[in-house]
Amino acid sequence: YTDLITRYNLNSKLGTFLSRPNPSDGDLTLSKKNDKAISTIEGGHKRSIRSLAWKPNTKNESVIATASFDSTTGIWHREEHERAPGNKENSAVLDSEGKEEEEEWRFAVVLDGHDSEVKSVAWSAGGSFLATCSRDKSVWIWEEMEGDNYETIAVLQDHSQDVKMVVWHPEDELLASASYDDTIRLYKEDVDDWVCCAVLTGHTSTVWSISFENAGSASRLASASDDQTARVWKRKSRIAAMKPVVQQPSIIKQAEDETEDWEEECCLPKVHSRTIYSIDWSKNTGLIATAGGDGLIIVYQEIKIDNLQPQFGSSSPEWKIVAQIPAAHGVHEINSVAWCPKWDNEGLKTKEEVLLSAGDDGVVNVFEFETDSS
């Protein structure tokens, strides 16, 4: 890997990052290239913006949802014009003096409801649902109605402490949340109600970050915690999951398809020596990246073993470390890592990816990672 490429355009559908906690304002800067912001979202929030999410599948506009410590979630719109693919400056218009003219982000909707700091926000794969979570221990699901209206369709209060992060399954309408109560919970719709369908226990401290694999319905979930471990969880196969049901006392509600059985598959190699704040499972390459308070970025790759004979016990998958970036933000802590498509000189998305990181230094770094696909 090398440091910092400049051909990268952040106006792609980027994951979440942490805006630096800043008591004086709730501004947010979207940056492109090194040290250069393409636009700044100002106003709207009264306190720090904790995280954001780009809405998928939008047409002729970009939509961002922002989660703020002011206990609201904001929805922002910006019109996007058709651009020639060869136009490198495809996110800014040059005015007559050759200066980049910022396009306006419009603060369209304020979602009110949480009692305290909103920590994370996530759009479902199709973009029709929005999930938010808060220090008030709840997870809310919102559905977009016509004309910038959002309706609360679920308030899930299963966690016993702050909820740190929410993410949607890449395909299914399955939501996951990570909490200060050391657990991860999964939710899905059961007839008309959203219910908690699984609890993943194993971490011994706050779960800060979770990320789904991109493998259809078989997608696993990766998690990162204050206990300095990162783990991979998988859905138990139907047959395995049925077994314990037989022994369950009848008072325990075992509705048709309402529960899911998840188990820890493995722990990623332990390297971090401080809290791991962020984990991202590449939807493209299958690599996992973690980063945290120790300033380290670690990239893991699964060791694919051929000729596995699954009938002989559980051959737990193994992961190896393929990259370590110490002091990726100098002496600062790293709050977020996210994989993103790399854009070429023509302004076209390539199949390669770059890794973005955001640190306490207020900087977003871009790392290019070279791997032989053998």
Partner 1 sequence: LHDPFAPSPGGDSAYSSGASDQDDDEDESAAEDIDEQEIYDLISSISDPEHPLSLGELAVINLPHIHVTHGTPTPSNPHPMSHVLVEITPTINHCSLATVIGLGVRVRLEQALPTRFRIDVKIREGTHQSTDQVNKQLNDKERVAAACENETLMGVLSNMLATCK
Residues that bind partner 1 (CB under 8 A): 21, 23, 47-48, 50, 69, 117, 119, 135, 162, 164, 180, 205-206, 226, 274-275, 277, 293-295, 326-327, 330-333, 360
Which CB sits closer to partner 1, 147 or 326? Answer: 326
**Minimal distance, residue 340 CB to partner 1, in Å:** 24
**Minimal distance, residue 242 CB to partner 1, in Å:** 37
**Minimal distance, residue 199 CB to partner 1, in Å:** 19
**Minimal distance, residue 108 CB to partner 1, in Å:** 25
Which CB sits closer to partner 1, 123 or 277? Answer: 277
DSSP state of 215: B
| Burial of residue 112, with CB atoms counted within 10 A of its CB: 0-12 exposed, 13-18 middle, 19 or more buried | exposed
Which CB sits closer to partner 1, 173 or 333? Answer: 333
Which CB sits closer to partner 1, 135 or 235? Answer: 135
Residue type, 205: S
Which CB sits closer to partner 1, 50 or 137? Answer: 50
**Minimal distance, residue 23 CB to partner 1, in Å:** 5
In degrees rounded to 5, what are phi and psi of residue 31?
A: -115, 155
For residues 185 and 174, the answer to whether their CB atoms sit within 8 Å is: no
For residues 148 and 162, the answer to whether their CB atoms sit within 8 Å is: no
Which CB sits closer to partner 1, 91 or 120? Answer: 120
**Minimal distance, residue 297 CB to partner 1, in Å:** 12
What distance, in Å, lies between the first and last C-alpha atoms of the chain?
Answer: 17
Task: Please count the other Cβ atoms lying within 10 Å of the Cβ belonging to residue 58.
Answer: 16
In degrees rounded to 5, what are phi and psi of residue 241?
A: -70, -25
DSSP state of 255: -
Q: What whole-number distance in Å separates Cα of residue 143 and Cα of residue 123?
A: 10
Which CB sits closer to partner 1, 165 or 338? Answer: 165
**Minimal distance, residue 325 CB to partner 1, in Å:** 10
**Minimal distance, residue 4 CB to partner 1, in Å:** 17
Q: What whole-number distance in Å separates Cα of residue 111 and Cα of residue 142?
A: 9
Q: What whole-number distance in Å separates Cα of residue 47 and Cα of residue 26?
A: 5
In degrees rounded to 5, what are phi and psi of residue 311?
A: -70, -20
Give me the DSSP letters along 18-86: PPPP-TT---EEEEETTTEEEEEE-SS-SS-EEEEEEPSS-SSEEEEEEEETTS-EEEEEEE-----TT
* Residue reference for tokens 């993410």: 167
Which CB sits closer to partner 1, 15 or 26? Answer: 26
Q: What whole-number distance in Å separates Cα of residue 78 and Cα of residue 198?
A: 37
Which CB sits closer to partner 1, 232 or 325? Answer: 325
Q: What whole-number distance in Å separates Cα of residue 327 and Cα of residue 53?
A: 27
For residues 204 and 246, the answer to whether their CB atoms sit within 8 Å is: no
**Minimal distance, residue 76 CB to partner 1, in Å:** 21
Q: What whole-number distance in Å separates Cα of residue 29 and Cα of residue 77?
A: 15
Q: What whole-number distance in Å separates Cα of residue 206 and Cα of residue 135?
A: 13
Which CB sits closer to partner 1, 117 or 213? Answer: 117
**Minimal distance, residue 165 CB to partner 1, in Å:** 10
